[in-house]
Chain A
Amino acid sequence: MSEQRRDDETKPDETTVERLRAVVRDEEPMPGGEPVDSDLVWRAVSGELSVEERRAVVARVADDAAWAAAWRLAKELSSAAAQAEPTATLAAGGPRARRDSSDARERRRFRFAWSRPVWGAVATAALVLVVVGISVREGPEQHQLRGGDTGALTSLVPEAAPLKRDDCVLRWSGGPEGTRWSVRVSTEDLSLVHRADSLEQREYRVPASVLAPLKPGTKLLWQVEARLPDGQVLRGATFVNRLE
């Protein structure tokens, strides 16, 4: 018996699921439950927390109807908030608005990507490392931060040399031929997040428009993910370079 067939056998019908969802939605909160930490719930739903933290919040949702209601609200409104971004920026009009709209799309994409365990864990780890100022060993042409699950991926961008806004090329080495790459670029405060997928070359030129809003000297965190020819996915370390 195949796995698919076993799943089909256990898959509940939609009517049953909707009935159960309605029951859960209508449940009254128990008096004296722990007050809902709305900020925590929002950050869990929007993928800002680590997987472990999210699981802890979901465990609370499983136990407490008030937390469950807060979760459903956050789910609805975080989604609506993401859709509201382009409307708001376009309302300002002009080229800036178009650029902001593009940025907003990137942020929305990041919101989704950020909730992926690999990206989330690595980026969180990278941010912590940067904030506490852990120094890293570096060579003249290569540098690497801890946090990846493969040491085979190394940056070919000298850390000392600032990245040019109009010619910001990220290069790296490692991975066999046929590997497809994804690159994510972000700032420390996550005001900027940019991602490119399905790259065939071991380099990526960050569009100048993406970097335009950033101040000189801004630290850029960038990380590479490799999809190997056999389907295995490996993540690289997170590298840090300053913008000129």
Chain B
Amino acid sequence: MESQPRPTQAAGPLLNHELEKLRRDLTRAVERVCPPRLADRRDDLVQTAMMRVMELQRREPDRSRLSPAYLYRVAYTALVDELRNVERRREVSMEEVESQPQQPLASGDPEKSASASQIARAVRDCLRQLAQDRRLAVTLYLQGHTVPEAGELLGWDGKRAENLIYRGLSALRLCLSTKGFEP
């Protein structure tokens, strides 16, 4: 998917030190967001996004249109695209490995990995069982938003957001415990 956002303001192209800042921000975001299983791909992800930005800077005749906000958004789009590609390649790779049972299935601790996967599935199943508003509020909270941020994004005042999140989390834990998980 190549849906590129439109530039929204004129602030000039990024200078070298600003590109370095972009790279640092991308690296930090990827480190915080990407799961451990993609740890060895983080540099590639960042590099791909940076290349997309550099290419855009090279091609765009009207460089004043390349505001930092625009270029961050381009980098973000590139990262999501590349994440999808990495996951797709990984799926294919896993299928190939599974067809060769003599080889080890995965690096690390398979038992631990399977357990984490089961917990993740259980969390998502339990999320689906929550009432809609609680599900949305808890979802944002688990994505790292604060209570006020979640409320603001979903159009609720702080008190309502707080109630939905805390009670939703309580219900989530109860659901998980019935499945044998104690978060």
Interface residues in chain A, defined as those with a beta carbon under 8 Å from any beta carbon in chain B? 3, 7, 10-12, 16-17, 19-21, 23-29, 31, 35-39, 41-42, 44-45, 47, 51, 54-55, 58-59, 61-63, 65-66, 68-78, 80-82, 84-85, 87-89, 91-92, 100, 104, 107, 112, 115-117, 189-191
Contacts and interface: CB of A to CB of B under 8 A. Distances in A.
Centre residue among A7, A17, A80, A82 by max chain B CB count within 10 A: A80
Centre residue among A3, A29, A82 by max chain B CB count within 10 A: A29
Contact of A26 (B75, B120, B159, B183): B120
Interface stretch (B26-34, B54-62, B97-105): B26-34
Interface of B: 1, 3-5, 8-9, 11-12, 14-15, 17-18, 21-22, 25-26, 28-30, 32-37, 67-69, 72-73, 75-77, 79-81, 83-84, 87, 91, 116-117, 119-121, 123-124, 127-128, 132, 135-136, 139-145, 152-155, 159, 162-163, 166-167, 169-170, 172-173, 183
A182 B140 CA distance: 28
Contacts of B32: 72, 76
B5 A39 contact: yes
A12 B173 contact: yes
Main SS class of interface, B:
helix
B29 A80 contact: yes
B108 to A, nearest CB: 12
A88 B72 CA distance: 12
A19 B117 contact: no
Main SS class of interface, A:
helix
Q: 10 closest Cβ contacts across the A-B interface?
A: A81-B72, A117-B155, A51-B155, A76-B29, A27-B120, A80-B25, A38-B80, A62-B139, A10-B166, A84-B68
